[in-house]
A and B are shown apart, each in its own frame.
Chain A
Amino acid sequence: MKRKSQDCPSRLPDNSAVKQQQLPAYRLQLSANKILSGFFATGVFCLGVGVILLLSAKTIKEVEINYTEKCANCAKLRENAANFDKECNCSIPFVLPETMKGNVYMYYKLYGFYQNLYRYILSRSNSQLVGTDVKDVRNCAPFKTSHNGIPIAPCGAIANSMFNDTIILSYNLNSSIHIKVPMIRSGITWWTDKYVKFQNPSFQNLSSAFAGTTKPPNWPKPAYELDEEDPGNNGFINDDFIVWMRTAAFPTFKKLYRRLHRIEHFTEGLPAGSYSFNITYNFPVNRFQGEKAVVLSTLTWSGGSSLFLGLAYMVTGAVTWLAFFSMLAVHLRLRERKMFFLQQ
C-alpha cells in the first residue's frame, strides 16, 4: 500500500487553498439593512456636502464685465487684420458695491473660443517649448514655418492665437485721483509648467537663443520681448504665455491674468468704490463671433467654485433619500409577505 501511494503521489491534486477554491474569503452579503442604511447615510452625506458647497459658493464675490460690445470701435478695427499695428485703447468704468475681501484674482474670459479643438490642441511642439530644440516644429502645422521657411518660435496654432490684450485696473478714489491697482503677474502658472514643461533655450542672451527662428504671424513682437518690464519673464517662460498654452477644456473659459498685490489701500482686498479697466484691445473676437470679458473674483476653500457642484450634491442627496424611502417601503411590504410564506 505504501509503495502504491508513493508510485503516484502527483496524481492527487494538492490540497492547497488556492487549488481547492477554499481560499479564506469574505462573502459580500449586502443585506437589506446594510443597503438601506448605506443609502440613508449617503443621502445625509450628499446633502451635507451640498449645503456646505452652496454656502461657501455664496461667499464668493465676483464681478464680470463683458467688453466685447463696450469697446465696439476697437472691435471693429480688429476685424480687419491689416490694422494689426494700430493701437486701440478702451476704458470701462464700473462700481464695486461691496468690498472684495481677501485675495482677489483677475481673469480674462473668452466665449466661443474652441481651445479644445482637436487639431488646435495638437498644434504645438513640446520639445521646442522645453528649450531642447528651438527649431523643432514637427507637430505645429499649420504654423510651422514662415513663408520663407524659417521655423516659428513658439510654433503652432495655440501659440499663434495667444490672448494679447493688456488690462489695467484703476481705483478711482475720487474723480481726479486714479490709482493703478497693484497687480502681481507671477504665481499664476503651475509650478511644473513654469519650471519643467517650459524652458528657454540655454543662452546668456535670450534673443540669440531665438536666432534662426521667427515670431508667430499674429504676434506683434518676438517671444523674447513679451515682457518689457521683467526680463526674466520673457521667452517660453512668460507667465501669460504659459497660462494660454494650458488649453481649456470648454469653448467658454477664463484664464488667470493677474493677482491683487495686497498693499496700501488694498491690504484687505478690493475696497468698494468706483473702478475702471483700461484695456489695450488687441485680441480680435468678432471674427469668430466670440466675446471676451474680464472677471474679478475672490476664492473660497474649494477654489472659485460655481453653484453647480453644490446643487449636484443636493440633488444626488435628495434622490438617494427618495430611493431610500421607496426601497424601505417596498422592502417592508415584501417582508410581511415573506413571513407569510415562511409560516406556510
Chain B
Amino acid sequence: MLCSKKKSLEVERIVKANDREYNEKYQYTDNRIHTCKYNILTFLPINLFEQFQRVANVYFLFLLILQLIPEISSLTWFTTIVPLVLVVTMTAVKDATDDYFRHKSDNQVNNRQSEVLIDSKLQNEKWMNVKVGDIIKLENNQFVAADLLLLSSSEPHGLCYIETAELDGETNLKVRHALSVTSGLGADTSRLAKFDGIVVCEAPNNKLDKFTGVLSWKGSEHSLNNEKIILRGCVLRNTSWCFGMVIFAGPDTKLMQNSGKTKFKRTSIDRLMNTLVLWIFGFLICLGIILAIGNSIWENQVGDQFRTFLFWNEGEKNSVFSGFLTFWSYIIILNTVVPISLYVSVEVIRLGHSYFINWDRKMYYSGKATPAQARTTTLNEELGQIEYVFSDKTGTLTENIMTFKKCSINGRIYGEVHDVLGQKTDMTKKKEAVGFSVNPEADRTFQFFDHHLMESIKMGDPKVHEFLRLLALCHTVMSEENSAGELIYQVQSPDEGALVTAAKNLGFIFKSRTPETITIEELGTLVTYQLLAFLDFNNFRKRMSVIVRNPEGQIKLYSKGADTILFERLHPSNEDLLTLTSDHLSEFAGEGLRTLAIAYRDLDDKYFKEWHKMLEDANAAVDKRDERIAGLYEEIERDLMLLGATAVEDKLQEGVIETITSLSLANIKIWVLTGDKQETAINIGYACNMLTDDMNDVFIIAGNTAVEVREELRKAKENLFGQNRSFSNGHVVFEKKQPLELDSVVEETVTGDYALIINGHSLTVYDQWFITLFNIVYTSLPVLAMGIFDQDVNDQNSMDCPQLYKPGQLNLLFNKHKFFICVAHGIYTSLALFFIPYGAFYNVAGEDGQHIADYQSFAVTMATSLVIVVSVQIALDTSYWTIINHVFVWGSIATYFSILFTMHSNGLFGIFPRQFPFVGNARHSLTQKCIWLVILLTTVASVMPVVAFRFLKVDLFPTLSDQIRQWQKAQKKARPLRSRKPQTRRSSSRRSGYAFAHQEGYGELITSGKNMRAKNPPPTSGLEKTLYNSTSWIENLCKKTTDTVSSFSQDKTVKL
C-alpha cells in the first residue's frame, strides 16, 4: 500500500516474461496483499490519530484542556478522562481485533501455494512471492493468484473456462482463449521458460471487463483484450491446466483495485445522531450563555455584598469577567448533556445485533452449511429501514437450473397432473414420477409427472415422436462420454440443456455429432441424420433451425423459437392448432414458465438445392453478406407446421416467491438487475410474483445511454401520474449496466428499536464521581440490554405481518420529532427531580433534629432519585424481559447503591480525604424516612405522566406493532396453528412466455467442428466445409459474443 502511494502514477505497464531483473526496474508490486491497516508499531499512533478525528473525542479532549485551567475548572479532571479513556480503549480494542483478523486472512491468502516456472522448472511458491512477469501454472478448480495473460491450456486452441463468481457473482462459465501464437507452447516447460514476450498494457485499474495491451514476441505484435486475461479471484473450471503470465500482481490486480478503500457508510441514525449532537451542543452553549448572564447579574446584585466572606481577587470582582468564567465552567459541568456515550452505546448495540444475525439458526442455509454473516456492524439497524432491494437475478432469484416442466404437443398438454376428479392440481412430490427405468440413459434428477406422455410415446404417436426428435436434433449441445461411459452434455444455454435432457429421458437420446451429422438414439435404435444447414439463433430472429436429411432421404427443417415469431410463419392449415397451442402457451406463461414454440417443415430436394446454392453464393459474397444470409433464412423458414411448445422452468431459489411477497407487503421495492434479454427479464418478473397480471401496464423503458434512460423514466412517471395509477408497488426490472456486487438480504431481520435515552439533567449539586459514572455505569447497561435484547413483537408474528416494516422505513421510530419529545420529557423529569427535593428540604430538619438540607444530602437524594427514575423508565420501555435485562436493570440499581456506600465509607475517606468528602452521607441520608418519601414522590411524579401519555397513545392511535402485541396476548392461550402456505398463483395471461438464453455464433462453431476433440476428426469432405471460412471461427465467436454483451449493456430496459 505504502509502495503504491510512493510510486509516481503509472501510465503504462511494461512486463517481460520470465525476466525478473528486467521487471524489477519498474518496481511493480509483488503479489502480497495488505488489507490490514496497522502493525504492532504503528497501531497506537495511527489508531489514536484516527480516533481523534471524531468529533466526540475531540470534544472530550477540549473539555479536558478546559478543566486544566484552575479558574474555570468546575469539575476535577477525572470526570472527563475516565469516559474518554474508556471510549478510546474500547474502540482501540475493537479496531485491533478487526485488524488481527485481517492480518490472519491476509496471511492465509498470501501463503497459498501456486506453481511457478523458475529456472525452467515448475516450483511451488507462495502467492506472495509471485512476481510480475512470472509464468505460473494453474490446475482445474484452483483460484487464480494474480491477473494473468493466458498463454496455453489443456483444451484445444488454448481455450479455458473460468468462473467469475468472486468477481461479479455470476456462476456461469466464461471462455478465455490464448493467442494462437502462444497456445502452441502447450505444457512444454522448456519452451515456456524461453518465452520472452513483452507485454505493454494499461496501468492497473478497476475495470473488470476491459483490458487493452500488446504482446511483442518474436518480432511481431499481437493485440490483447479482455478475452485473453484471467483475473485474480476467478476459478479455473473444466480445464485440466493452463499457463499464464503475471501482468498485475497483489494490490494492482483488478480484484484488489475494486475492493480498495471501503467507503465509510453512515446510517441514517448516524446522520441523525450527528445532527442531534450538534443541536444539543448549541443548546449547551445557549444554556451556558444564559447561566453566565445570570451569574453576572447575581454577582452584581447579591454577590457584591457577599464578598465579606469571600475576598475574591481584584480581577474576579468584575461581574462580567465572572460571568465569562462561569460560562466555561458550565460548559464543563453540563458536558454530560452531550450524549457522547450514545455513540459508544450504539456501537455496542450494533455489535450485539450483528452477533445475533450471525447466530441465527433461522438464517442458516444448510445446503451450503453457511450461517448468515453480518460483514459490517455499522449498518445493522438500516436493515429495518430498507426501501429498495437491488437483486441480482441469476443465482439470487433463480438457481440457474432449467427444468423441462410441460409441453404441448399437437394441441394436448403433457406434464399437468390431474387428480381423481379431473381437476388440475399442482405437481407435488407425493405423486409418483414417471419411471424411466426402462431407459438406461435416464437422468435420475429428471422428473416428469405425466404418464400420458410415456403412453403416447409407446403408442407411437407420430407427432410426439417428431416433437421429441426435434428436441434431440435442433440445438447446439455438444456430447461427450466420460471415463465411466456416461453421456455428458456440454450446453451453451441451460434452456437447451433442459430440452435435450428431456428428450433423452423420453427415449430420444442425442448421442453425438460431427460437423455434418447428428446421431440420435430413437427409442433404442441408432439413427444418423445428415446435417445440411444450421440456421443460427440471434436476438432478432429469435429462433433457430436445422435442416437435416433423415436416413429415408427426406429433408426436414426443424425450428424452435419465440411463439410470436414462429406463429407468423406457420402454414395456414395450422390455424386450429395455433389457437389451441397459444392458449396453452398463455397458460404456461401465466405460471412463469419459459416457452418455446416448436415447428417443422418438409422440404423437397429440388427446392432445398436451389436454396442451398443461393446460400453458398451469399456466404461467398463480400458486401451485404449478413443481410443476404438473413434473407435466405427468412425465405426457407416459412409454411411451417406447428408441433407444439415447450415450457421450461427457470428454477427459482427456494422461498423466492414468499420472500418477494413479504417484501412487497413490507413496502420494499425490488429492483432486479440482469443482463438477460427483455423477454427473460419480464418472464422472471412474472415467475417470482414481482409482476402480476393485474398490473396491466408494464412500462418498458429502453434507452442506450444514461441520459436516455433518465428521460424514459421521466416519461413513464408522467404517464403513470397522468393516468392516475398507483405508483406505490412498482418493482423495477433493471437490466444491469455493469456487474455490481450485491449483498443480498433475503430474509428480514427483526431489528430492535433503538431507544436512545437522553438524560438531560445534571446539576452542580451532584457528586463529581456521580457525574463521572452516571452515563457509563449506572444507566448505560440497562439501555444496552434493552437495545440488544428487546423484541417488541415475536419472530413468528413479525414474519407473518410484513407491514410492521413500514414504520421503520418511514423513520417513525427514531426521528427528530421523537427526539424533541424525549428532550421535553428530560426537561420535565429534571424539573421534578430538582424542585420536589428542593421544596421538601426547604426549612426541614431530620428525624434527629439535625439538618438534612445540606448540600451533600441533597445531592445524594437527587442522584438516588435519578437512578431510580431512569431505571423505572427503562423497565417500562423494556417490553421483553429476559434474565439479562433483569440482571442489568436490577444490577445497575444495586451497583449504584454499592458504589454509593463504598464511596461514602470511612475507609476510603481515611485513605483519600480530599477525593471522597461525602463520607457517611449515604448512611445518614438514606436512613431518613422523609428522604425515601421524597424519592418515591419524585419517581411517581416523573413516571406517571409518561405512562398516561403512552396509554392514551396506544388507545387513541395504536400502531400496528401495538395491535399485534395485543393480538399476541389474546392468542397466548390458544396457540395458533396458522402456518403460511405459499400462495399459489395460477392465472392465464395473454403475454408471451418466450425466453431463451442463447447466444449467436454457436451454430457456426458446430458446423466448423473446431470445438470438437481430435478423436472426432472433422470429415474432409462435406457441404458445410466449403460454406464457411472456418479459420476465423474463434474470432467470429468472440466478436459476436462481445457484440451481444455490449448490446445488452447498452440496451438498458426498465419496466415499471
Q: Are the C-beta atoms of B884 and A20 separated by less than 8 Å? A: no
| 0/1 string, B964-976, CB within 8 A of A gives 1 | 0100110000000
In the complex, what residues of B have CB within 8 A of residue A215's CB?
none
Cβ of A254 and Cβ of B914 under 8 Å apart? Answer: no
Tell whether, in the assembled complex, residue A330 and residue B952 are in contact, meaning their CB atoms are under 8 Å apart: yes
Point out the residues of chain B lying under 8 angstroms from A13, CB to CB: 358-361, 364, 371
Within 8 A of A (CB), among B948-966: 948, 950-952, 955-956, 965
Residue positions of A touching B, CB distance < 8 A: 8, 11-15, 18-21, 23-32, 35, 38-39, 42, 46, 49, 53, 103, 105, 107, 112, 114-121, 123, 126-127, 130, 132, 138-139, 142-143, 157, 160-161, 187-193, 196-197, 243, 246-250, 252-256, 259, 284, 287-289, 297, 299, 301-306, 308-309, 312-313, 316, 319-320, 323, 327, 330-331, 334
A308/B359 in contact, CB under 8 A: no
- B17-25, B309-317, B415-423, B502-510: which lies at the interface: B309-317
A293 to B879, CA, bound (A): 54
Q: Which 3 A-B pairs have the closest CB atoms?
A: A192-B920, A304-B845, A19-B359
With contact pairs A24-B882, A25-B880, A288-B306 given, residues A299 and B842 touching in the complex (Cβ less than 8 Å) = no
From known contacts A118-B74, A142-B311, infer whether A306 and B842 are also in contact, taking CB-CB under 8 Å: yes
Q: In the complex, are the beta carbons of A103 and B956 less than 8 A apart?
A: no
Give Cα A207–Cα B120 distance, bound, in whole angstroms: 101
29 contacts between A and B (CB under 8 A): A11-B370, A19-B355, A21-B356, A21-B789, A21-B795, A25-B882, A29-B879, A30-B876, A42-B944, A114-B302, A118-B329, A192-B906, A192-B924, A246-B851, A247-B854, A249-B853, A249-B857, A252-B842, A254-B845, A256-B849, A256-B850, A256-B851, A303-B848, A306-B840, A312-B937, A316-B944, A323-B944, A327-B948, A327-B952
In angstroms, Cα B370 to Cα A12, docked, is 7
Is there an interface contact between A299 and B313, defined as CB atoms closer than 8 Å?
no
What is the CA–CA distance of A239 and B280 in the complex, to the nearest angstrom? 46
Contact, CB under 8 Å: B937 / A316: yes
Looking at the assembled complex, report how far the CB atom of B952 sits from the nearest CB atom of chain A, in whole angstroms.
6
CB of B46, distance to nearest CB on chain A (Å) = 33
CA distance A123 to B311 in the complex (A): 11
Separation of A16 and B933 alpha carbons in the complex (Å) = 44
CB pair A29–B969 under 8 Å, yes or no, is yes
Residue of B nearest to A121 (CB): B855
In contact, B878 and A28 (Cβ under 8 angstroms): yes
A299 to B305, CA, bound (A): 35
> Cβ of B656 < 8 Å from any Cβ of A?
no
Give the docked Cα–Cα distance between A19 and B354 (Å): 11
A303 and B880 form a contact (CB under 8 A): no
Query: Within 8 Å CB of B329, what residues of A?
Result: 118
CB of B856 closer than 8 Å to a CB of A: yes
- Our pick among A11, A26, A308, A323 for the contact of B881 (Cβ within 8 Å) is A26
Closest partner residue, chain B, to A320 (CB atom): B944
In the complex, B162 has a CB within 8 A of chain A = no
Complex Cα gap A145–B310 (Å)? 14
Asked if residues B858 and A249 are in contact (CB atoms below 8 Å), the reply is: yes
A319, closest chain B residue (CB)? B944
Instruction: Given the known inter-chain contacts A28-B880, A302-B929, please indicate yes or no for A157 contacting B937, CB distance below 8 A.
Output: no
Per the bound structure, the CA–CA distance linking A30 and B956 in Å amounts to 15
Are A32 and B370 also in contact (CB < 8 A) when A252-B843, A302-B933 are?
Answer: no
Whether the Cβ atoms of A12 and B364 lie closer than 8 Å is: yes
For B361, list chain A residues within 8 Å (CB).
12-13, 15, 20
- 1/0 per position for B475-493, CB-CB distance to A under 8 A? 0000000000000000000
B883 part of interface (Cβ distance < 8 Å): yes
Within 8 A of A (CB), among B256-308: 302-303, 305-306, 308
B930 on the interface (CB 8 Å rule)?
Answer: yes
Given known pairs A21-B791, A142-B311, the reply for A334 and B956 (CB within 8 Å) is yes
B847 proximal to A (CB < 8 A): yes
Contact residues, B825-861 vs A (CB, 8 A): 836, 838-858
In the assembled complex, which residues on chain A have CB atoms less than 8 Å from the CB atom of B313? Answer: 142
B369 in contact (CB, < 8 A): yes
Partner of A188, one of B308, B850, B924: B850
B808 interface residue (CB < 8 Å to A): no
Question: B843 near A254 (CB under 8 angstroms)?
Answer: yes
Partner among B789, B930, B933 whose Cβ is within 8 Å of the Cβ of A23: B789
B842-A250 in contact (CB<8A):
yes
Give, as a whole number of angstroms, the nearest-CB distance from B747 to chain A: 14
Closest to B923 in A: A192
Taking the closest CB of chain B, its distance from the CB of A33, in whole angstroms, is 11
CB closest chain-B residue, reference A11: B369
Residue of A with least CB distance to B934? A309
Determine whether the beta carbon of B839 is less than 8 Å from that of A308. yes
Q: Is B379 an interface residue (CB 8 A)?
A: no
User: With A157-B309, A191-B920, A287-B305 given, is the CB distance from A309 to B845 under 8 Å?
Assistant: no
A304 near B844 with CB under 8 A, answer yes
Q: State the Cβ distance, A332 to closest chain B Cβ, in Å.
A: 10
- Set B358, B849, B937, B944: member contacting A304, Cβ < 8 A: B849
Query: Are B842 and A105 touching (Cβ within 8 A)?
Result: no
B907 CB → nearest A CB, Å: 10
Known: A303-B930, A312-B840. A157 touches B310 (CB 8 A): yes
Known contacts A23-B882, A331-B955: A297-B948 contact under CB 8 Å: no
B940 within 8 A of A: yes
**CB-defined contacts of B306 to chain A, threshold 8 Å:** 114, 117, 288
B917 touches A (CB below 8 Å): yes
**B309 close to A246 (CB less than 8 A):** no
For A31, A115, A188, A303, the residue with the greatest tally of chain B CB atoms inside 10 Å of its CB is: A303
A103 to B850, CA, bound (A): 13
**Measured between C-beta atoms, what is the minimum distance from A4 to chain B in Å?**
9
CA distance A39 to B946 in the complex (A): 12
A333 smallest CB distance to B (angstroms): 9
Other contacts beyond A13-B359, A160-B309: 18, CB < 8 A: A11-B369, A12-B369, A25-B882, A27-B968, A30-B951, A39-B944, A105-B845, A123-B310, A139-B914, A190-B924, A191-B920, A196-B909, A248-B851, A301-B847, A306-B842, A308-B839, A316-B944, A334-B956
Query: Which residue of the partner chain, among A8, A49, A190, A250, contacts B853 with CB atoms under 8 Å?
Result: A250
Is A35 in contact with B951, judged by CB distance below 8 angstroms?
Answer: yes
Q: Are B302 and A197 in contact, CB atoms less than 8 angstroms apart?
A: no
Q: Quick check: is B813 within 8 A (CB to CB) of the other chain? A: no
Check if A246 sits within 8 Å of B930, measured CB to CB: no
Pair B838/A250 contact, Cβ less than 8 Å: yes
B359 and A309: CB pair below 8 A? no
| A342 CA to B663 CA, complexed, in Å | 27
Q: Identify which of residues 63-100 in chain B touch chain A, using a CB-to-CB cut-off of 8 Å.
A: 74
List, in ascending order, chain A residues with CB within 8 A of B309's CB: 120, 157, 160-161, 288
A13 to B358, CA, bound (A): 8
Contacting residues, chain A, for B857 (C-beta < 8 A): 249
Task: Tell me, yes or no, whether B947 is within 8 Å of chain A by CB.
Answer: yes
Assess the B843–A303 pair: CB atoms within 8 A. no
**B913 sits at the interface (CB 8 A):** yes
Which residues on A sit within 8 Å (CB–CB) of B934?
309
Interface contact B948-A29, CB-CB below 8 Å? no
Determine the residue in chain B with the shortest Cβ distance to A42. Answer: B940
Measured CA separation A23–B885 after assembly (Å): 11
User: Contact between A32 and B880 (Cβ–Cβ < 8 Å)?
Assistant: no
Interface string of B883-923 (1 = CB under 8 A from A): 11100000000000000000000100110011001011001
A267 to B536, CA, bound (A): 124
Inter-chain CA distance A233–B950, complex, in Å, is 59
Which residues of the partner chain A approach B311 to less than 8 Å between Cβ atoms?
A: 142-143
Nearest B residue to A302 by beta-carbon distance? B930
The interface bits of chain B over 326-345 (1 if a CB of A lies within 8 angstroms of the residue's CB, else 0) are 00010000000000000000
The smallest beta-carbon distance between A18 and chain B, in angstroms, is: 8
A118–chain B nearest beta-carbon distance, Å: 7
Whether A116 contacts B305 by the Cβ 8 Å rule is no
- Most chain A CB within 10 A, of B937, B965, B969, is at B937
B851 touches A316 (CB 8 A): no
Contact between chains at B845 and A249 (CB < 8 Å): no
A40 CB, min distance to chain B CBs, angstroms: 12
